[in-house]
Amino acid sequence: MMLLFCFASQMLVYYMPLATVALSLSSETDKLALLALKVKLTNGVQDSLPSWNESLHFCEWQGVTCGRRHMRVSALHLENQTWGGTLGPSLGNLTFLRMLTLSNIDLHCMAKFQNKLVV
């Protein structure tokens, strides 16, 4: 019985940190993606999205919703802004994102279709 307890204790010691590290790295990916998205969306305007900073966990940022289980970004609701920026490629790094709401947002869109630039 004592041998089983020791084995179980060792499993917890070795496996728990790996799960914690994986969750931490995933969270860091989401945070960095959001910060990069902020720069593109707002054209780097300082006072835009003031809650998007290091003092709060990104799940507490304005317009950001995270799933309860993994604490990853599941929805972005950004409305009524005239930033004039673009959607950057970092949006693709939000792998748990299921809903993106950009209503009444002034964006400067550039898309390439069949080797022609459309603005």
Per-residue pLDDT at 45: 83
CA pair distance 54, 32, nearest whole angstrom: 11
Q: What is the CATH number of the domain that holds 79?
A: 3.80.10
What per-residue confidence (pLDDT) applies to 107? Answer: 79
What was the pLDDT predicted at 110? 53
How far apart CA 28 and CA 34 sit, in angstroms, is: 10
**Structure-block tokens of residue 79:** 């409305």
Tell me the average pLDDT of the chain.
Answer: 76
Q: Cβ of 8: how many Cβ atoms within 10 Å?
A: 10
Task: Domain count for the chain, please give it.
Answer: 1
pTM of the full structure: 0.71
> What residues contact 108, with CB distance under 8 A and at least 6 apart?
84, 85, 86, 119
| Nearest-angstrom CA–CA distance, 18 and 9 | 15
The tens digit of pLDDT for each residue in 17-69 reads 434 444 455 689 999 999 999 999 888 888 899 999 989 999 999 999 999 98
pLDDT at 85: 87
Which domain does 81 fall in, by range?
2-118
Greater model confidence, 78 or 5: 78
The H-assigned helical ranges of the chain are 2-42
Residue type, 53: N
Cα–Cα dist 111/117, whole Å: 6
Residue 28 three-state SS: helix
